[in-house]
């Protein structure tokens, strides 16, 4: 049994007693229809959600889907039957090209592409099985249709996955494809498409151990759990409902939930930092409206209203950004609340943006058939010359050159 510190955060008010804690498979089949330039490109560490280590060189990554020039992928009238290529870019240069086929361990779906540690992990369900791959090589298969919610490779090279069959519940934790723990009704906190959870999704390391949290109903009661290296423990003292997020740091669960006062936080997320955390979410402004906000948890004066639109929020220790759909395209907001409209474009997936230091790494898909996708990072913007779209962005860090 574990007791959780409960943090009732009202963004601009931190209730007394809140405690800020310190940080404390091998593939058997290679694909012949892929090529990679320069050998293995994975190096350094994946970017933690919202945090960039000091004194490092940053490498930018993004994945993209390329269709034949004559195919109108915007209309998508022949989905699944048109050949395509899945590409991996390192600092805007393609380093991996994977050709589709019946035995491929990847699909064109952006939500099934995952950038982690300079590698492109993929998932594809076909023939009644879900195939998990890395850089075009199949690692293992799962019987039935599953979707990844967490993905983590430890220092020893073991690959941990957390998967679920759909939104109605059920989770399975595996190491190199072998089941470590499962719950038939569990719903994890975090996912691979949740910006606050970063490239590893619901799985993360705490004290060198693989950890995630989940909730599950037991009759009319909802309980909350922590799983640490496959061992489960129930979190006691946690309200049955209205919990927005749960994170574990130094073995201690942190719980975020809406206050019961006039102003309420919805869709809130915790963003762990070196010795504290930040909170993002939708905040009731007291006049019947809602705003998208970001706040450093240990500084009530740091409340920042990013926009009044419902938006995806991205945080780093230096800045917070919001990305929202607009009738004319995509609008994104910086930390000062000013917005910039990107016309005639779409935002393909939540994984197509990442806050790195004071800048936003952002990928945009064309709204028109003949358009080309764009990737921007701070003042730099590049057009990706493909008939298709960017499916995700990421970053790795390595020690800075002297």
Instruction: Give 351-383 pLDDT, tens digit per residue.
Output: 999 999 999 999 999 998 789 999 999 889 999
User: Alpha carbon of 372 to those of 67, 111, 380, 393: distances in Å?
Assistant: 12, 20, 16, 16
* CA distance linking residue 138 with residue 123, whole number of Å: 9
More confident residue, 213 or 300: 213
Query: Which positions ≥6 away from 283 have C-beta within 8 Å?
Result: 11, 263, 264, 265, 266, 290, 291, 292, 293, 305
Q: Rounded to 5 degrees, what angle do the CA atoms 211, 44, 250 make?
A: 30
- Write down all domains in the chain, each with its CATH number in brackets: 2-399 (2.130.10)
Reported confidence tier of residue 399, pLDDT bands at 50, 70, 90 = confident
User: pTM, whole model, 2 decimals?
Assistant: 0.86
The reported pLDDT for the residue numbered 77 is 63
Mean pLDDT of all residues belonging to the chain: 84
Do the strands 252-256 and 5-7 form a parallel or antiparallel pair, or are they unpaired?
parallel
Tokens of 25: 């498979």
Residue 228 in this model has a pLDDT that exceeds 90: yes
What is the spatial distance between Cα 18 and Cα 21, in angstroms, rounded to a whole number? 10
**Nearest 10 degrees: CA dihedral of 258, 263, 267, 269?**
-70
| Ramachandran sector of residue 382 (left: φ over 0; alpha: ψ -120 to 50; beta: rest) | beta
The residue among 385 and 15 whose pLDDT is bigger is 385
User: What integer pLDDT is reported at residue 33 of this predicted model?
Assistant: 39
């Amino acid at each position: 049994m574990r007791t959780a510190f409960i943090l009732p955060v009202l963004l601009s008010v931190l209730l007394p007693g809140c405690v800020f804690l310190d940080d404390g498979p091998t593939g058997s089949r290679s694909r012949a229809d892929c090529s990679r330039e320069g050998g293995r490109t994975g190096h350094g560490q994946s970017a933690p959600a919202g945090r960039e280590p000091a004194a490092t060189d940053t490498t930018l990554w993004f994945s993209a889907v390329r269709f034949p020039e004559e195919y109108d992928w915007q209309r998508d009238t022949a989905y699944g039957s048109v050949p395509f290529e899945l590409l991996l870019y390192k600092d805007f240069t393609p380093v991996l090209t994977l050709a589709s086929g019946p035995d491929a361990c990847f699909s064109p779906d952006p939500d099934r592409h995952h950038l982690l540690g300079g590698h492109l992990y993929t998932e594809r369900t076909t023939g009644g099985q879900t195939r998990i791959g890395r850089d075009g090589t199949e690692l293992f298969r799962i019987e039935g249709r599953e979707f990844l919610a967490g993905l983590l490779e430890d220092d020893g090279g073991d690959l941990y996955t957390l998967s679920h069959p759909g939104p109605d519940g059920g989770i399975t934790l595996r190491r190199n494809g072998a089941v470590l723990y499962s719950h038939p009704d569990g719903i994890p906190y975090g996912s691979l498409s949740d910006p606050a959870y970063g490239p590893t999704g619901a799985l993360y390391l705490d004290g060198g151990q693989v950890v995630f949290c989940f909730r599950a109903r037991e009759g009319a009661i909802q309980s909350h759990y922590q799983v640490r290296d496959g061992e489960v423990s129930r979190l006691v003292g946690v309200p049955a409902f209205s919990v927005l997020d749960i994170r574990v740091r130094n073995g201690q669960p942190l719980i975020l939930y809406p206050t019961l006062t006039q102003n309420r936080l919805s869709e809130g997320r915790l963003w762990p930092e070196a010795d504290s955390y930040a909170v993002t979410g939708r905040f009731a402004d007291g006049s019947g409206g809602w705003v998208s906000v970001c706040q450093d948890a240990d500084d009530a004066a740091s409340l920042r209203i990013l926009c009044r639109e419902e938006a995806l929020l991205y945080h780093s220790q230096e800045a917070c950004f919001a990305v929202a759909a607009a009738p004319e395209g995509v609008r994104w907001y910086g930390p000062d609340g000013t917005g910039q409209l990107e016309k005639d474009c779409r935002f393909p997936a939540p994984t197509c943006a990442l806050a790195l230091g004071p800048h936003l790494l952002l990928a945009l898909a064309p709204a028109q058939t003949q358009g080309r996708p764009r990737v921007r990072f701070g003042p730099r913007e590049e057009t990706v010359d493909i008939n298709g779209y960017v499916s995700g962005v990421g970053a790795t860090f390595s020690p800075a050159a002297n």
